[in-house]
């Protein structure tokens, strides 16, 4: 009897404890719902803060809001809560330290699976499908895996150097082509150059990304404010997005399927080069795994080509506006690399100034200035404010890069920020903490991007001088860099002259190109 009573008492204790936890959770949840939202502009009847949400250069307007209302700002877009994080500290607190609560995504309501872009894991909701897709991508793009793609990147860079030599005025379009072709080669093992049949995949990729950027722009269509429009026929005046869906879906399928099919054909014929596709298809035994592998390869392009190109154009702008940094980097390259070869990633440890220069490019003009939105997966509290479940969380890397307490003279381009006693030392100033995203959503292609960009800028500075406009006396003319409001952010065309540093540099380019199977360049 005593044992039975003891057992009953134990069960009662467990039940009491469980009920206490439940009551505490209910009370705590109720308390959160009664907390105030973060401060922000006054909300209007029905439309909330729609007039306050910027339609262009959002990072500048959001920065002004943060300075006025604080590092956490609340906006209401027809009932959709937006939380603006105005400081890197707030972004780290929520998106890094509480990543379990903030790893979801919120994109345009037009960007459902009907757009055809569900293969792009970066826009998938947090969950099993997303984890499988990201795992497949990371398997082929982690810090150790990217070494196998170095020869592909170097071939693309050498082709670009030859194009710079022969047609320097097209430096911008040829750079975009180089990044496109390199990623397609890495993803599918397809050698892309202007005279090859594989050139069509660059055109497919460029068109697809134009459709992607339209479909995934938050708030571009009325359906964002009035979700019921999803159920209206396409001819309805406010349902124009529905007329775009077939076009977007067709573009998305082409990028996912056509280069993959070409890669599989080459594998079957025994003529395939090592690539993401060749690695992933070896592990794919089911239809689901094949679908994931196809999506991972297509995601490599969607996630990287445009952002690397935009970062590269910011590098060129920095070299024109801050020529002294170019001269210091070239002096370092001359002393370490010499005149008879091109620099490689293996030289990086001996090139601290050039390493710092690339990091400063990332910080000086972040090409995704408002980051990629996260979504609050549950109710939360931060600094006494309520963060509602379903809130869109917006970061502002551009503002973080302008924090004078971390980066004195933030508008200046100063690679020496990351040098200490002549050594590369990021300390607490690493801009990759906000440039490449946060928490479980951090960019898994960052290692490949950093390597390719480093090797590209090292090779160009080793062989070419970059200059801007000059007056009649030959003195450099300062100008204001202006930007195109696109995603990723791009500078407007500016006067940029790229010329060989010497006859020796020109000879090096021509010799290496002829030795690297590049004779088919047009």
- Binding-site residue numbers for heme are 443
Going by C-beta distance under 8 Å and a sequence separation of 6 or more, which residues neighbour residue 269?
none
d(C-alpha 365, C-alpha 135), whole Å: 30
Query: Per the annotation, where are the binding residues?
Result: 443
404: which 2 tokens? 């004078």
Q: How many CA atoms lie within 13 A of 150 on its CB side?
A: 14
> Helix, strand, or coil here: 387?
strand
Helix (H) or strand (E) holding 381, with range, is strand 380-382
**CA 238 centroid distance within chain:** 31
Q: Which residues of 392-414 are buried (b: 16+ CB within 10 A; e: fewer)?
A: bbbbbbbbbbbeeebbeebeebb
Pairing, β 392-394 against β 385-387: unpaired
Going by C-beta distance under 8 Å and a sequence separation of 6 or more, which residues neighbour residue 143?
447
Pairing, β 464-467 against β 497-500: antiparallel
Contact present, 307 and 183 (Cβ < 8 Å): no
Strand partners, 386: 381
82: which 2 tokens? 């937006």
DSSP symbol at 425: -
**CA 297 centroid distance within chain:** 16
Contact present, 346 and 465 (Cβ < 8 Å): no
Contact present, 484 and 491 (Cβ < 8 Å): yes
Is the C-alpha dihedral spanning 445, 447, 449, 452 positive or negative? negative
Q: Which residues of 337-348 are buried (b: 16+ CB within 10 A; e: fewer)?
A: beeeebbbbebb
Burial class (CB in 10 A: 0-12, 13-18, 19+), 360: buried
């Amino acid at each position: 009897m005593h044992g039975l009573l003891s057992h009953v008492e134990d069960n009662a204790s467990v039940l009491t404890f469980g009920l206490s936890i439940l009551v505490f959770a209910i009370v705590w949840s109720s308390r959160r719902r009664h907390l105030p939202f973060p401060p922000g502009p006054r909300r209007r009847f029905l439309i909330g803060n729609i007039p306050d949400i910027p339609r262009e250069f959002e990072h500048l307007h959001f920065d002004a809001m943060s300075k006025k209302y604080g590092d956490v700002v609340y906006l209401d877009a027809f009932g959709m809560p937006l939380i603006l994080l105005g400081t890197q500290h707030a972004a780290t607190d929520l998106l890094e330290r509480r990543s379990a609560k903030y790893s979801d995504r919120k994109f345009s309501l037009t960007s459902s699976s009907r757009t055809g872009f569900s293969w792009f894991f970066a826009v998938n909701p947090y969950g099993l499908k997303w984890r499988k897709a990201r795992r497949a991508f990371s398997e082929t793009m982690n810090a150790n895996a990217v070494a196998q793609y170095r020869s592909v990147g170097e071939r693309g860079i050498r082709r670009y150097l030859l194009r710079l030599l022969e047609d320097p005025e097209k430096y911008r379009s040829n750079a975009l082509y180089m990044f496109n072709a390199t990623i397609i080669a890495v993803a599918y093992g397809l050698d892309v150059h202007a005279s090859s049949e594989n050139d069509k995949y660059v055109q497919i990729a460029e068109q697809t990304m134009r459709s992607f950027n339209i479909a995934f722009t938050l708030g571009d269509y009325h359906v964002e404010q009035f979700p019921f429009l999803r159920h209206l026929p396409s001819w309805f005046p406010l349902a124009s997005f529905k007329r775009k869906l077939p076009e977007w879906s067709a573009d998305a399928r082409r990028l996912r399927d056509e280069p993959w099919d070409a890669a599989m054909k080459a594998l079957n014929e025994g003529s395939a080069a090592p690539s993401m596709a060749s690695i992933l298809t070896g592990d794919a035994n089911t239809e689901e795994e094949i679908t994931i592998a196809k999506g991972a390869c297509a995601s490599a392009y969607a996630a990287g080509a445009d952002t690397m190109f935009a970062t590269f154009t910011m590098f060129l702008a920095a070299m024109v506006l801050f020529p002294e940094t170019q001269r210091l980097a070239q002096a370092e390259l001359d002393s370490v690399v010499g005149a008879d070869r091109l620099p490689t990633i293996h030289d990086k440890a001996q090139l601290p100034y050039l390493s710092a220069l690339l990091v400063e490019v990332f910080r000086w003009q972040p090409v995704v200035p408002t980051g990629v939105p996260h979504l609050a997966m549950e109710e939360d509290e931060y600094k006494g404010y309520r963060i509602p479940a379903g809130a869109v969380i917006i970061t502002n890397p551009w503002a973080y890069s302008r924090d004078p307490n971390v980066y004195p003279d933030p508008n200046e381009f100063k690679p020496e920020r990351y040098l200490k006693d002549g050594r590369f030392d990021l300390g607490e100033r690493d801009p990759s903490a906000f440039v490449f995203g946060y928490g479980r959503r951090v960019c898994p292609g960052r290692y490949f991007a950093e390597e390719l960009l480093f090797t590209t800028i090292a090779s160009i500075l080793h062989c070419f001088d970059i200059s801007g406009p000059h007056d009649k006396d030959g003195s450099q003319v300062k100008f204001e860099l202006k930007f195109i409001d696109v995603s990723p952010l791009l500078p407007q065309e500016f006067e940029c002259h790229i010329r060989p540093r010497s006859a020796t540099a020109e000879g090096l380019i021509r010799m290496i190109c002829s030795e690297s199977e590049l004779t088919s360049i047009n």
